[in-house]
Amino acid sequence: MKISVCGKGGSGKSTVVALLANEARARGYHVLVVDSDESNSGLFRMLGFDHPPVPLMELVGGKTSLKQKMGQPSVLSETRIALTQIPERYLLQRDSLMLVSIGKILQSLEGCACPMGVLSREFLKKLILQEDELAIVDMEAGVEHFGRGVDTSIDSILIVVEPPLESINVGQKIHDLASGIGIKNVWAVMNKVPSEEIAIRLKAELEKRHIEVVGCVYYDADIYSSSLDGSIPVKGVAREVKMVMSSILSRAGMPITT
């Protein structure tokens, strides 16, 4: 399964990616996290690495070189990329948890982020996964990635929605865009929910909009305070994350292996 984690800015996409990646790894999956957010750079820390990976953008000669190749049918020379074929230089790995990063905007006036979108789309399309492998993509905030076609290369979308209406509205837009391009698995996870009462109301609101909810991660004060140093404590929300993971795996027809 290639699952892309989407949602409004700040809704908790990267947090959810890190929580799910750890949970999937604990269940025996080989997990590749793909950092496809060209703005934020702290995902490596959330996953417990002490430095960021060398971006894949460098594999194709950097952004300027990629821009020149953008009209060509492909920018990566490989036709299929298995997890074991990702060059070591671009991969961070701790036992069965792996991280690659597409690229970041580093300077002002360096131009738009379209080349990152092109590379993301092609890398995800060529990525070949075995049954015990999962790719979890930390997507940039909002919906621009749909315009760049990044989502055409994945099979499942997890929308992170927090209670504010604006987050629900962005979630709805993502849901409709994803369904519109034929992605069969489009789910929402509610995040930063402060109470059971709000969980019930938020779930009802999402279901009214025909968005299938796979679970709820409550607001956790330790997660919030740990974000000050970039780490994520998993304990406080472990039960909720387990339920979300089981729900996703069973819907995708994959072994749940608790």
End-to-end CA distance of the chain: 17
Smaller CB separation from Mg ion, 14 or 22: 14
Nearest distance from C-beta of residue 222 to ligand ATP, angstroms? 8
Smaller CB separation from Mg ion, 153 or 191: 191
* From the list ligand ATP, Mg ion, none, partner contacted by residue 153 (C-beta under 5 to 8 A by kind): none
Smaller CB separation from ligand ATP, 31 or 199: 199
- Binding footprint of ligand ATP on the chain (CB under 6 A): 7, 9-15, 37, 40, 141, 191-192, 217, 219-220, 223-224, 227
Distances in whole angstroms, Cα of residue 175 to Cα of each of 5, 141, 209, 249, 254: 12, 14, 9, 19, 22
Question: Is 248:187 a contact under the CB 8 Å cutoff?
Answer: yes
How many residues make contact with Mg ion (CB under 5 A)?
3
If one asks whether residue 40 binds Mg ion (CB under 5 A), the answer comes out as yes
Go through 173-200 and write b for each residue having 16 or more CB atoms within 10 A of its CB, e for each that does not.
bbbebbeeeebebbbbbbbbbeeeebbe
* From the list ligand ATP, Mg ion, none, partner contacted by residue 92 (C-beta under 5 to 8 A by kind): none
Segment holding 222, helix H or strand E: helix 221-226
Smaller CB separation from ligand ATP, 90 or 219: 219
If one asks whether residue 14 binds Mg ion (CB under 5 A), the answer comes out as yes
Go through 63-89 and write b for each residue having 16 or more CB atoms within 10 A of its CB, e for each that does not.
beebeebeeeeebbeeeebebeebeee
Smaller CB separation from Mg ion, 14 or 101: 14
Nearest of 248, 254, 257, 241 to residue 16 by alpha carbon:
241
CA distance 179 to 60: 31
* From the list Mg ion, ligand ATP, none, partner contacted by residue 219 (C-beta under 5 to 8 A by kind): ligand ATP
Nearest distance from C-beta of residue 139 to Mg ion, angstroms? 9
Smaller CB separation from Mg ion, 33 or 75: 33
Q: Of how many residues is the chain composed?
A: 258
Q: Residue of minimal CB distance from ligand ATP?
A: 227
* From the list ligand ATP, Mg ion, none, partner contacted by residue 15 (C-beta under 5 to 8 A by kind): ligand ATP
- Which residues contact Mg ion by CB under 5 A? 13-14, 40
